[in-house]
Structure 1
Amino acid sequence: MKPSLLVLIHLNDPSRASIDAAFDAVHAPDSAQRAAAIAARGAAFRAVLTNGTTGLNASEIDQMPQLELLSALGAGYENLAVDHARSRGIVVVNGAGTNDHCVADHAFALLLAVVRDVPQLDQATRVGVWRDTLPMRPNVSGKRLGIVGLGNIGAKVARRGGGFDMEVGYHNRTPREGSPLRYFDSVTALAQWSDFLVVATPGGAGTRHLIDAKVLDALGPQGFVVNVSRGSVLDTAALAQALNAGTIAGAALDVYEGEPHPPEALLALRNVVLTPHVGGRSPEAITASVENFLSNAKRHFAGEPVLTPI
């Protein structure tokens, strides 16, 4: 008999088929379906598949007495009640490593787009504006790249920076052992040194508004910030003020506070590039994430250690 699984996120058809083949799955990707599914079948669910944004709270966990495996599809897990799950003996896993290349690619796409003004140049070309009337934009190559969070994604961003002949520095809570990159013991010091600041740190209470007015001040009027971590890490109000005042030159965000609603304070600004939290989404990344979940589940229900525990 297949284990009963509650799926709280949207899946494409191939992913859904793979999961349905392995589980007695209930798909509840919106709040109304979610509440109804937990109320009706909470006692039966042995596993939950969600992501860091959608999460799973302690109250919901307590409505599932048979729950033994909780999985975030991607790397993030900021809205999962991890400690509460562990106190119940529930195994908690994520998709660490499955979409790192995709997010790092997207971070560089955003950086190139905002520094080289790609969206505005595209619009200008479509209405017949020629280059001589447009401002020249700075190089990306050869500049200083600061990375906030040198985890799997941050390290891949650093490697891409090397391909652009960039000098790379980073900030973590502690230096990364064995890393040849320059370490800064504060985000503010890193920002002051950097031309471009890429934010790739985990979300959660510990990093809320880590990128604030002080950091943006330090980045300076020629500086650009890119956020591919979580919206909560960057103070939206401080960013809007900095962009309007010319405190920094531009920003590119794949994530923002109040998702899925776009950040109203930034929508009218010319020096911002926005994408709808798609940095980790590609056919390759989604396939790898689903396969990782299925492997974790297979090992767990066979009594073996999981591959990517939190």
Structure 2
Amino acid sequence: MTIEILQTGPLLASCEKALAERYTVHKLHEQAAPSAWLRENGARIRAHAGSGVQADLMDALPNLEIIASFGVGYDNIDTRAAKARNIRVTNTPDVLNDAVAELTIGLMISLARRIPQSDQFVRQGKWPNANFGLFSELTGKTVGILGLGRIGKEIASRAQAMKMRVVYHGRSAQPSVPYVYYDNLEDMARDADWLVIIAPGGKGTEKIVSRKVLEALGPKGAIVNVARGTLIDEAAMVELLQNGGLGGAALDVFENEPSVPEALFSLDNVVLSPHQGSATNQTRDAMGALLVANLEKHFAGEPLISAVV
């Protein structure tokens, strides 16, 4: 008897192909009446592939054994409810570290040198009549990293290659890393030229980058967010970018994405990206392969590769 699994949204084509080769896959997002389908078929589902699973869906899947999430972040899965129901949860860490770290440095250089704006300057035919201007560089600057986990460490090593000084803030100091630890985020922001956010999302970190932190970063400081939009007080950030209280922002994520505050569109001290942190073919293929591998391990009764719960 084949194992029946559920998707509630589309996944990468290579991942969907691998799932279909191994399991009977049901796609709830393609059902005309999802609630009715769950009532009739939910008891047959043993696994969920994807993300965005809350307690109400778990209740509709009484025999659910595992949620294999596509992505390293799992703040959109109710892990407490999963644990209470003895449902395993996995994610796809490590395989996306390099891609996110590369984009982070790319965003920093783009903001420092105004690369998107200079591209438009040339395309709009302005170069023959004016010089574009002088901006900044990363060399010699201090970058404060909020969240020195797997990806944070990759960003740190690349920042050092750019001749930057690296400091960090997290829940606790890591004695094995060669960077200065700050136990107070506001203090780190005050001492840094750049603040890079790569901490997990969720209630525990919501608006951790407060107005006070942004003001401490100041009119010559810049913020980079490649984590979750909810970590920043977005309204305060927009206001400070507009009035000069904050020097610049390079943002790959937003509080209510794909909705982006329109006020950001007209600002020259901002670089915007549509949540592209892991968006490379090789990384997304690796993420899909890890999702499938976790399911295979579970149904073979073997230890999970990347268990969250």
CA offsets per residue over residues 200-247 of structure 1, 9 Å max, x none?
A: 000000100011111111111111100000010011101111101111
CA contact (8 A) 1:145 1:166 kept: yes
Q: Which moved more, 1:109-118 or 1:7-16?
A: 7-16
Task: Tell me the amino acid that sits aligned with residue 73 of structure 2.
Answer: G
Aligned to 2:23: 23
Query: 1: distance between equivalents of 2:167 and 2:50?
Result: 33
**Alpha-carbon contact 1:221-1:246 (below 8 Å) kept:** yes
Query: How far off its partner does 1:270 sit?
Result: 2.0
In 2, Cα distance between equivalents of 1:252 and 1:35: 40
**Which residue is 1:232 aligned to?**
230
Equivalent positions of 1:184-263 (< 5 A) are: 184-263=182-261
User: Counterparts of 1:41 and 1:232 in 2: how far apart (Å)?
Assistant: 35
User: Could you say which residue in structure 1 is the equivalent of 2:7?
Assistant: 7
- Shift, 1:171, TM fit: 0.3
Residues 39-48 or 109-118, more deviating: 39-48
DSSP-derived class of the 2:266 partner: coil
Distance across 2 between alignment mates of 1:35 and 1:170: 46
Identity %: 36
User: Could you tell me how far 1:35 is from its partner in structure 2?
Assistant: 4.6
1:134 aligned residue: 132
- Secondary structure of the structure 1 residue equivalent to 2:135: coil
Contact 1:195-1:222 within 8 A present in 2 as well: yes
Quick one: which amino acid aligns to residue 26 of structure 1?
H
Q: 1:98 to 1:229 in 2, by over 3 A?
A: same
- Aligned counterpart for 1:68 among listed residues 57, 62, 65: 65
Give the aligned CA root-mean-square deviation in angstroms. Answer: 1.8
> Offset at 1:263?
2.4
The CA deviation at 1:33 is 7.1
Mapping of residues 1-310 of structure 1, within 5 Å: 1-29=1-29, 35=35, 37-51=37-51, 55-130=52-127, 133-310=131-308
The one-letter amino acid of 1:96's match is: P
Counterpart contact for 1:237–1:265, Cα < 8 Å:
no
CA contact (8 A) 2:31 2:37 kept: no
Runs (4+) off by over 6 Å: 30-33
- 2:258 maps to a residue whose letter is P
1:11-31 superposed Cα distances (whole Å, 9 cap, x missing partner): 232222111111211234589
- Whole-Å separation in 2 of the counterparts to 1:198 and 1:94: 23
| Residue ranges of structure 1 left out of the alignment (5+ in a row) | none
Q: 1:141 to 1:86 in 2, by over 3 A?
A: same
Instruction: Please give the secondary structure, in 2, of the residue aligned with 1:42.
Output: helix
Give secondary structure in 2 for the equivalent of 1:43. helix
CA contact (8 A) 1:230 1:255 kept: yes
Contact 1:74 1:98 in 2 (8 A): no
- Find the aligned partners of 1:265 and 1:50 in 2 and give their Cα distance: 33
Residue identity matched to 1:129 = K
Q: 1:305 to 1:248 in 2, by over 3 A?
A: same
Cα 1:35–1:215, aligned 2, differ >3 Å: closer, same or farther?
farther
Deviation at 1:271, TM superposition (A): 1.5
TM-score if structure 1 supplies the norm length?
Answer: 0.94
* Deviation for aligned residue 1:176: 1.6
Which runs of 5 or more structure 2 residues have no equivalent in the other structure?
none
Q: Distance in 2 between matches of 1:125 and 1:21?
A: 49
Render the CA deviation track for 1:145-184: whole Å, top value 9, x for unaligned: 1100000111100011011011000000101231111101
- TM-fit CA distance, 1:267: 2.3
Structure 2 distance, partners of 1:34, 1:149, is 38
- Read off the aligned partner of 1:169 and give its amino acid letter: V
Cα deviation code 1:22-66 (max 9, x no counterpart): 121123458977656534432211111223xxx111111011011
Query: The residue matched to 1:298 in structure 2 has which SS?
Result: helix
SS at match of 1:141: coil
